[in-house]
Each structure stands twice: as C-alpha cells, then as structure tokens.
Amino acid sequence: MRKAVNPAPSPPSAITLAMRWSNFQRRYAPYIFVSPFFILFLVFGLYPTLFSLYMSFQSWTPSDGWGRWKYVGLENYTFTLTDPMFWRAMWNTLWLGFFSGIPQHLIAIPLAFVIHMVLGRFKTLVVAVYFLPYITSSVAIALIFNTLFATNNGVINLVIAQLNTWPVLGWFLPDQNINWFLNSTIKYGIALVVIWQFTGWNTLLYLSAIQAIPKELYEAAAVDGASRYQQFRYITLPLLRPMMFFAVSLTIIGNMQLFEQPFVLLNGGASSATQGGQTVTMYMYRTAFEWLEMGTAASIAWILFIFIGILTYLNNLMFGRTARGEA
Amino acid sequence: MKRSLILLALLLLAGLGLAQRTTLTVAVFPNLDDSIKAQIPLFNKKFPNVEVKLVIQQYADHHNALTTALATGQGLPDVAAIEIGFVGRFAEGQGFEDLNKAPYNADQYKRLFTPYTIAQATSADGRFIAMPVDIGPGTFFYRVDILQKAQVNPRDMTTWAGYIAAGRKIKATTGAFLIADAADVAWINIFATTPANQSPYFDEKGSVVVDSPRFVRAFELARSIRSAGLDAKIGAWTNEWYDAFKKGTVATQFSGAWLQGHLQNWMAPETKGLWRVQHLPEGMYASWGGSFYGIPSASKNKALAWELIKFLTTDREAQIAGFKAIGAFPALLSAQEDPSFSEPVEFLGGQQARLLWRDAARRVKPLKANKYDRVANEILSSALSQVLDEGKDVRAALAEAKRLIERRMR
C-alpha cells in the first residue's frame, strides 16, 4: 500500500525538470547576476531623477505628506529664473568654480611634472601626502578651517600678520585681521579650502598621464638640446591635453555642485555671510529642507543640470577636439 | 498531558503579558533628551507596561529626518519633539494631529501653560498641533566684573541709548566689546516689539511689515553699535563665540534664559559667578527659544502617545524633573511655582534669576507663527548683514527685503 503511494519518479519527467532548470539558468542567470546594479540604479538613480523632474512642475510642502502636491506648470522655473537669491547663489558658484578651479590645475600640472622629473623613490610618498586632503571628509576639513579662519586668534590671520612684517610682501597684505565671515570675504575662504582639498587629486591625475608619455620623446628632445622647460612646454603640455579635458570636466562638475565646504563654513546657513557664499546646491538644499519648497528646489536642480551641461559642452569645444585625437 | 496543558496556559499568559507591553517611540534632539530621560522613570510609575524608546538626533538632523518622514509618511515616531523654529512650519502642514479635536480635547489644558506658547503651536486656521514643554524668556546677560572695571552701573543700560553709551565706556576703559554681534540687538528689538498675536514679520492680514518703523529702529540701533566699533563681529554658535565668553572679551549678550545652562555646562564654566542677568532695556519682553511635543498623524499609538505628552507637559513633577535636568524653563505655570525657582543661581553669583525670568515669561506677548517666518527671517538677516557689513542704507535694505519676501509668498 505504502509503496503504491510513494512510487519512484519516472525517469523521463526527471530529465525534463533538470533540463528545464538548466535551460532557465542558461537563459536568465546573466540577467540575475547583473540585476543588483540595475535594481539599485533604478531605485536610487533613475527613480529620484525622474521624480525630481516630475516634482519640478508641482508645488509640494513635504511636511504635508506624500501625494499632497499640486500641478503648477512652469511656475517653479519662472520663479527660480527671476529669483535674485538664486542668481546670487549662481554667481557665487561660478565665481567659486573659476577661482577655486583654475588654481587647482595651474598648481597641479607643474607640480606633477616636478614630482615626475625630480623625485625618484619618494614619489609615492609625496603623492600620497598631496592626495590625503582629497580622501579626508569635507565636513571635517571645513570644521577645521572654521577654526583656522577665526578673526582674532585664527592661524590663517596669524600667518598673514607674520608675513606682513616681511619687507615687500607687507605692501600687499592688510594691516588688520581679516574677518573671513563677511559677504565680501567668505568666497575667498571657501576657494582656499577647495583648492587645498582638490589640488592633490588633480596632481595624481596629471602624474598618471605624464607617466604614460613615452620616455623616448624626452630623451630625443634632450639629445636635441631641449631644456627642462622646453620639454615641459613642447612635450608634456600638448600630450596632457586629453587628461586636461578629463580633469577640467571633473572640476567643472564638482565645483558646480560644491556643497559641504560652504555649508559647514556658513554654519548651515545661519551665518550672516550666507548670501555671499552659498552655492546653488546649498541654496537648493535649503529651499527644500528649510523652506520646504520641494518643487522649487527640484526646478533649481534641473536648471543647474542644464548649466553644467552647457559648461561641459564649452569645455568640450576647448579641449575636446584634441582630446579625441582629431588635432 | 496535564503538564503540557499547564505549559500551554503559561505560555499564553506570558504572551498576553508581552502583548500588553507597548513601545512608544519618541524622537528628540539634545539636550531635550536629557530632560525626557529624567521624566521617563516617573512616567513608568503610572504606565509600567509602556516602554519609551528614544530616537536622538542632532538639532538640524532631527528636524530634517522629521520632515522627510512626514513627506513619505514612513518611519514616523509616536511622539516628536519640535523646536520653536520649526513649530510654525509643521503647524501649517498637515502631518500632525490637531490636539483641539477629540479624543485629545487639549483646549482644557491651554490655561495651564505660559500663555504665549499656545499661539506659537497654532496654525492660521486654528489647529493646535503641539503641547509646549519648555520656554525661553529673552534676557540680558552681562559680566559684572567688566562693568565694575569700567565703572558702569547696570541700571544705566535700561535704555538702548544708555546701553550704547555704556558700551563706549566699556570699550574705552577695558577694551572689551559690548556684544559679540550687533545683529543680536536688532533681533531682540524685532522680537520684543512685535504686537500681540502677530508674527514678527507679518501683520494680522498676512502682509509683510518689515519696512515699518520698529524694523528701521532695530536696524539703526545695530548699525550704531557696529559703526562705533562696539561689537566683536562674531557669529553665534562658533568657536570664536565660545572663546569670547571664556576670555571675557565681550561684556553683554542677549539670549534666552537657557544660555545660562550652556555657559555653565560647557561654554564657559570657569566664568562662574561673573555673570548677572536683568530685564531687557526699555521694558521689552521677548521669547527666545522653546520646545514642543506633537503626535504625527501616522502614529499607531496615538492614545498612549497623548498620555505621554500630557504627562511630560502637564505633570508638575515631570516638568520640574526636566527643569532640574537641563535648566530649560518649564512651560507649565504651576511648575514655575516650585520652591526651587527662588533658589539662588550659583553661576549668576547667587542671583534669584529664575524669578526674574518667570516675570519676563509672563509678560511676553503671544506671537503667531506664519508659514513664511523662516524665509522672512533669512531675507531679513541678509538685509541686516548688508547694512552692517556693507554700509547699505537701512530703509533701502528693508524695502528690498520686503520685496524679496513678498515674491516668496506664492
């Protein structure tokens, strides 16, 4: 009786099952293996992006609760584009992008060249030291600079006061302690922090590009009697163009989205110099979470996106042709 | 068989016992967490089966998390602490229970609190979303040692003109600054001169009033302090600010009464006995800080949450326990009658400061919250820095601020 209830499974059906399973595996396993990325990207990448696009046409106070938004058409965009505070933040961002971006490259390129040419076995150590600020938390850096920038006992003002006693340099430096937390001065402070933090990263990028330049070029130039400067000017710089394109693109994107450094230096917006130093992303954050205007904040994000797109395109016009090797 | 039945019965009983034990989540920020930690054991005497779980985050993170949780309706606590700077905005939103309605019927408790707190937690359409737990009567701190050195009598500083004159004397004789930031003088003037039942920046019809004479005067007072070089140009809550209090480079400060707790506990404990307080100049009274507890509408334990809030805010013993823990001034009027209020405050050289603050708290006019208060505050603060730092004309700056606020009101 019992045997009849539990018969041995018939061989053909067992084979089809195994075959089906193996078929299934063969067909779908690759998709399953790549799915974690796509699931994470859909949830944390694509969905928020599309939702913010949708939100930029709505008016929503988030503390009202999910779904309580109202369609307002282009109102958020017209409001932002005519908002003096937005344009001031945009000006701050462009100013910071330029004055904290250009010096990074002007320092990093020669620095990388010198490191490559002069430093033999200490190269790795020196690069690591220059790279250190880049991997340090921006918030920690900004907090420390907050103390360094103190008007009366801050290290930066003390150094300036010391340099002021030197003969020629003193003519260019102010006699009184600089208040770094004014609308007119805060941008210099933020730029200083950003330059300090990201020059090492660019140095590393340029160094890796310089190392990829064939030694023979330099040797040939040396044989022809080219000086170190001439080697730098006529071999290194032209061959660095692709890397310049890449590094400047990263700087543009990074600087247009500058957030932590101004946010911490301006005490999250509580500082009286907020208007003089806040960037577009900081203004966007505060529009969303302090003033609870999610729709307007979303429109700021998209306007900023278009701005970054335009700037990257301009950069592409400048460096891109040679970077793609169409020179 | 019998044994297993008994076991089963025991298990059932234990299960019931566990089921009865409910957990209430309460989201708070420091140092209100120290206050509620002192109150929970008292609450558990009345409700032994309720476990109160605290979710503690820093001030800004706490309110951000609360905003995000309200936006999605997910992860909300049963009880949420709300600081004064946010209560107006949350009141205008729809995320919190209206405590005026049944089953809360909070109307009966309103007379128990310092009157001005009720208006702060009430929305424009009359919903009452949070119960006040502590308050911050605005007060005038001064360094008695610096004043003595400069031979300034604190009574000379009971008018704003006298205050500035005293500042010149202090600066000339001791080198100390009158105040850390001249802007504070403008703010305390703006808050203290707000007519009853209005927002500081809007009239009862909701029109922007930042170009009215009281704003002009507040700005001009701050400007005259700045142009006389009497302020140290140090922003609040910065390392330099704490340093100035420690080293005694500023002689006075306007703030909520709670600043005494901060000075005593961590900012400048070594200045014990050197500080005194008095009422603001020219009979002004202002509210400067305060905290509330509300129930998010998504809470699943509203009845118990309400019991906890009622206990925290209306139980005299609980209010005094909180007061003793962090020194935050209780909002409950009967708690302010506690004998500990007439005790001398050692940090203030034995002054009976709490009686002074209680008196101030009772004279503060009720302020109404407006959903654009934060925006107005930000724009006005930027206008003030233009006047102080860049020498912009006061009237022009205020007219510009008015225009900027109006275009934000959509």
CATH number at residue B35: 3.40.190.10
pLDDT tens, A19-45?
Answer: 888 888 888 988 989 999 999 999 999
| Cβ proximity of B306 and B19 under 8 Å | no
Task: Let me know the angle formed at the C-alpha of B72 by B71 and B77, rounded to the nearest 5 degrees.
Answer: 90
Residue A123 covered by a domain: yes
Q: What is the CATH number of the domain that holds A286?
A: 1.10.3720.10
Number of domains, chain B:
2
Nearest-angstrom CA–CA distance, B377 and B187: 10
Nearest-angstrom CA–CA distance, A297 and A86: 10
Residue B162 pLDDT grade (very low, low, confident, very high; cuts 50, 70, 90): very high
Supply the pLDDT for residue A322.
Answer: 60
Contact A274 B181 (CB under 8 A): no
How many CB pairs lie under 8 A apart between chains A and B? 103
- Are B154 and B184 found together in one domain? yes
Supply the pLDDT for residue B325.
Answer: 79
Report the pLDDT averaged over residues B218-222.
96
Nearest-angstrom CA–CA distance, A49 and A58: 15
DSSP category for residue B234: -
pLDDT tens, A76-130?
Answer: 999 999 999 999 999 999 999 999 999 999 999 999 989 988 887 788 888 889 9
Residue B190 covered by a domain: yes
> Residue A175 above 80 pLDDT?
no
- Are A142 and A253 found together in one domain? yes
- Are A306 and A206 found together in one domain? yes
**Which residue in A64, A275, A292 is closest to B94 by CB distance?**
A64
CA nearest A154 in B: which residue? B240
- Are B208 and B65 found together in one domain? no
Q: How far is CA A150 from CA A48, A86, A89, B174, B231, in A?
A: 39, 28, 24, 22, 15
> Residue A311 above 50 pLDDT?
yes
pLDDT tens, B227-250?
Answer: 999 999 888 888 889 999 999 999
Single-letter code of the amino acid located at A273:
A
Which of B80, B50, B36 minimizes the C-alpha distance to B299? B80
- Are B125 and B272 found together in one domain? no
Sequence-ordered alpha helix ranges (H) in A82-149: 84-118, 123-135, 138-148
- Give the residue carrying structure tokens 């140090």: B234
What ipTM describes this predicted complex?
A: 0.80
pLDDT tens, A228-267?
Answer: 888 888 988 889 988 998 899 899 889 999 999 999 888 8
- Are A29 and A107 found together in one domain? no
- What is the phi-psi region of residue B229: left when phi exceeds 0, alpha when psi lies from -120 to 50, beta otherwise? left
| Cβ proximity of B274 and B144 under 8 Å | yes
Single-letter code of the amino acid located at A321:
R
Element (H, E) at B224: helix B213-227
Which of A212, A254, A214, A215 minimizes the C-alpha distance to A105? A254
Residue B348 covered by a domain: no
- Are B70 and B212 found together in one domain? no
- Are B79 and B169 found together in one domain? no
Residue B56 covered by a domain: yes
Could you write out the DSSP letters of every residue in B364-393?
PPPBPP-TTHHHHHHHHHHHHHHHHHH---
**Least confidently predicted of A233-237, A293-297, B75-79, B370-374:** B370-374
Supply the pLDDT for residue B204.
Answer: 86
Q: How far is CA B326 from CA A126, B204, B330, in A?
A: 50, 36, 10
Residues 6+ apart with CB under 8 A from A112: A203, A204, A206, A207, A209, A210
**Least confidently predicted of A280-284, B122-126, B182-186, B365-369:** B365-369
Phi, psi dihedral angles at B279 (to 5 degrees): -65, 160
**Which residue in A79, A182, A272 is closest to B381 by CB distance?**
A272
- Are A154 and A25 found together in one domain? no
Residue B39 covered by a domain: yes
- Are A189 and A305 found together in one domain? yes
Residue A325 pLDDT grade (very low, low, confident, very high; cuts 50, 70, 90): low
pLDDT tens, B260-309?
Answer: 888 988 899 999 999 999 999 999 999 888 899 999 998 989 999 999 99
Residue A269 covered by a domain: yes
- What is the domain range of residue A18? 2-40
Supply the pLDDT for residue A1.
Answer: 43
Supply the pLDDT for residue A76.
Answer: 95
Nearest-angstrom CA–CA distance, A305 and B158: 54
Strands (E), B57-129: 79-83
Residues on chain B touching A64 (C-beta within 8 angstroms):
70, 93-95
Answer with the residue of higher pLDDT: B170 or A147. Answer: B170
Residue A60 covered by a domain: no
Q: If DSSP codes are grouped into helix, strand and coil, which group holds residue A217? A: helix
What average pLDDT is seen over chain B?
A: 89
Nearest-angstrom CA–CA distance, A256 and A243: 20
Interface of A with B in 273-292 (CB under 8 A): 273-276, 286, 289-292
- Are A6 and A143 found together in one domain? no
> Residue A327 above 50 pLDDT?
no
Nearest-angstrom CA–CA distance, B405 and B210: 9
Looking at B342, B359, B376, the residue that finishes a domain is B342
Cα B147 to the center of its chain, rounded Å: 28
- Are B215 and B311 found together in one domain? no
Residue A3 pLDDT grade (very low, low, confident, very high; cuts 50, 70, 90): very low
What average pLDDT is seen over chain A?
A: 87
- Are A29 and A154 found together in one domain? no
Nearest-angstrom CA–CA distance, B392 and B410: 28
- Are B120 and B82 found together in one domain? yes
pLDDT tens, B356-404?
Answer: 999 999 898 888 778 788 889 889 998 999 999 888 999 999 999 999 9
Answer with the residue of higher pLDDT: A319 or B58. Answer: B58
| Cβ proximity of B159 and B281 under 8 Å | yes
The token pair at A272 is 């009286």
> Residue B18 above 70 pLDDT?
no
| Cβ proximity of A189 and A180 under 8 Å | yes
Burial class (CB in 10 A: 0-12, 13-18, 19+), A34: exposed
Contact A151 B93 (CB under 8 A): no
Supply the pLDDT for residue B148.
Answer: 94
- Are A120 and A8 found together in one domain? no
Residue B321 covered by a domain: yes
Phi, psi dihedral angles at B372 (to 5 degrees): -100, 10
DSSP category for residue B177: B
Contact B95 A65 (CB under 8 A): yes
- Are B169 and B31 found together in one domain? no
Residue A114 covered by a domain: yes
- Are A103 and A169 found together in one domain? yes
Which of B255, B310, B264, B251 minimizes the C-alpha distance to B288? B255
- Are A157 and A268 found together in one domain? yes
| Cβ proximity of B276 and B154 under 8 Å | yes
| Cβ proximity of A163 and A169 under 8 Å | yes
Could you check whether the bond before residue B100 is cis, i.e. omega within 30 degrees of 0?
Answer: no
| Cβ proximity of B223 and B182 under 8 Å | yes
Contact B73 A66 (CB under 8 A): yes
Report the pLDDT averaged over residues B340-349.
90
Angle of helix A155-164 versus helix A138-148 axis, rounded to 10: 50
Residues on chain B touching A65 (C-beta within 8 angstroms):
70-71, 73, 93-95, 297
Nearest-angstrom CA–CA distance, B216 and B218: 6
Q: Residue B55, Cβ neighbours under 10 Å: how many?
A: 16
Which of B147, B408, B122, B126 minimizes the C-alpha distance to B292? B122
On the CB side of A298, CA atoms within 13 Å amount to: 23
- Are B241 and B266 found together in one domain? yes
Residue B187 covered by a domain: yes
Contact A64 B70 (CB under 8 A): yes
Nearest-angstrom CA–CA distance, A64 and B92: 8
Nearest-angstrom CA–CA distance, A114 and B198: 66
Give the closest-approach CA distance of B19 to chain A in angstroms: 31
Nearest-angstrom CA–CA distance, A128 and A116: 14
Q: How far is CA B254 from CA B187, B277, B285, B348, B359, in A?
A: 9, 10, 11, 15, 17
Number of domains, chain A:
2
Residue A112 covered by a domain: yes
Residue B34 pLDDT grade (very low, low, confident, very high; cuts 50, 70, 90): confident
CA nearest A275 in B: which residue? B382
Interface of A with B in 48-67 (CB under 8 A): 59, 61-66
- Are A139 and A208 found together in one domain? yes
Nearest-angstrom CA–CA distance, B232 and A109: 42
Residues on chain B touching A82 (C-beta within 8 angstroms):
407
Answer with the residue of higher pLDDT: A164 or A213. Answer: A213
Residue A169 covered by a domain: yes
- Are B283 and B307 found together in one domain? no
> Residue A283 above 50 pLDDT?
yes
- Are B321 and B211 found together in one domain? no
Residue B347 covered by a domain: no
How much of chain B exceeds pLDDT 90, in percent? 60
Nearest-angstrom CA–CA distance, B244 and B184: 15
Residue A50 covered by a domain: no
Nearest-angstrom CA–CA distance, A150 and B245: 15
The token pair at B67 is 């905003």
- What is the domain range of residue B34? 18-136+288-342
Single-letter code of the amino acid located at A316:
N
- Are A17 and A132 found together in one domain? no
Sign for the CA dihedral angle at B189, B193, B197, B199 comes to: negative
- Are B24 and B154 found together in one domain? no
